[in-house]
Amino acid sequence: MNNLFVFGDSFSAGHGVRYTPYLEMIGSDKSADDIAFIERIAKELNLNLINYAMGGISNSAILKSFYENYHSIQSGDVVLIQSTFWNRLTFTHRDTQKEYHSTGPNSIDERLKDEYYKKICDEYIVLYHSREISMIDTFIVYPLIVDLCKAKGAKILFWSLDEISDECYNRFRTLIEDKFLIPPVAEKYVSWFSPMVYENKLRIMDEVELNDLHLSVKGNDIFFNEMIKQINEK
């Protein structure tokens, strides 16, 4: 039996339907595994799911996870790699090798008691981190990853969120085109999905009174149908 390898953030990990009272609030009799689009893709394609996605991680951490597990990919497998928000960074403590994933200023893991370390991370994110450079560092390796997967006989689909309601994230594709940041790579290799469409209620918070921007049941349905279509066209 072949595998579906998944690398990404909380959207790929199934957050929302899996870790909130959302399904209970809407009176759903289905389980999270019956709704989350990643699990449904694995079932539809009769693949064993190996999901390395984790909430809050950065693009560098997502790529690192792929590099660490590439050796396990075999002919006939399917690989999904998601790119995440560009303000996210991963810090590794020099002495302990412990990784901390920051989703923005003042969001370093609260379990970390070193206030000086938190301050350094925050200042780095605000003053010394370019989202444009982060995009280049992420997208520039995609053609190489395609070649690696093709050499193994595996299908691969890169995907990213097309737009985010929060102004600080901006519109990913628009930002890339406006800044002339390797648009051929971004447009050729990345499939863009838009969960943040208010009138369509693709997010949980657009459907119920719950502060969660992850995919609703309808959002998972749309993502599932579109991704299955694109995977089958590979």
Give the residue with greater pLDDT, 129 vs 50: 50
pLDDT of residue 150: 93
Lookup: tokens for 34: 């019956």
Among the residue ranges 5-19, 25-39, 75-89, 125-139, the one predicted with the least confidence is 125-139
Apex CA 31: angle with CA 29 and CA 36, to 5°? 125
Give the residue with greater pLDDT, 122 vs 199: 122
Q: How far is CA 95 from CA 92, 146, 227, in A?
A: 9, 35, 41
pLDDT of residue 25: 94
pLDDT of residue 183: 45
Q: Is a pLDDT exceeding 70 seen at residue 82?
A: yes
- CA dist., res. 122 & res. 104, Å (int): 7
Give the residue with greater pLDDT, 179 vs 86: 86
Give the residue with greater pLDDT, 132 vs 226: 226
CATH hierarchy code of domain 3-87+131-232? 3.40.50.1110
Q: How confident is the model at residue 193 (pLDDT cuts 50, 70, 90)?
A: low
Give the residue with greater pLDDT, 159 vs 75: 75
pLDDT of residue 210: 92
Intervals of CATH 3.40.50.1110 along the chain: 3-87+131-232
Query: Which amino acid is residue 160, in one-letter code?
Result: S
pLDDT of residue 232: 92
Give the residue with greater pLDDT, 42 vs 170: 42
pLDDT of residue 192: 66
pTM of the model: 0.84
Query: Which amino acid is residue 229, in one-letter code?
Result: K
Secondary structure letter of residue 207 according to DSSP: T
pLDDT of residue 213: 84
Give the residue with greater pLDDT, 92 vs 152: 152
Q: How confident is the model at residue 197 (pLDDT cuts 50, 70, 90)?
A: very low
Secondary structure letter of residue 16 according to DSSP: T
pLDDT of residue 52: 98
Q: Is a pLDDT exceeding 60 seen at residue 176?
A: no
Per residue, what are the HEC states of 78-137?
EEEEEECCCCCEEEECCCCCCEEEECCCCCCCCCCCCHHHHHHHHHHHHHCCCHHHHHHH
Among the residue ranges 57-61, 84-88, 156-160, 205-209, the one predicted with the least confidence is 84-88
- CA dist., res. 233 & res. 169, Å (int): 30
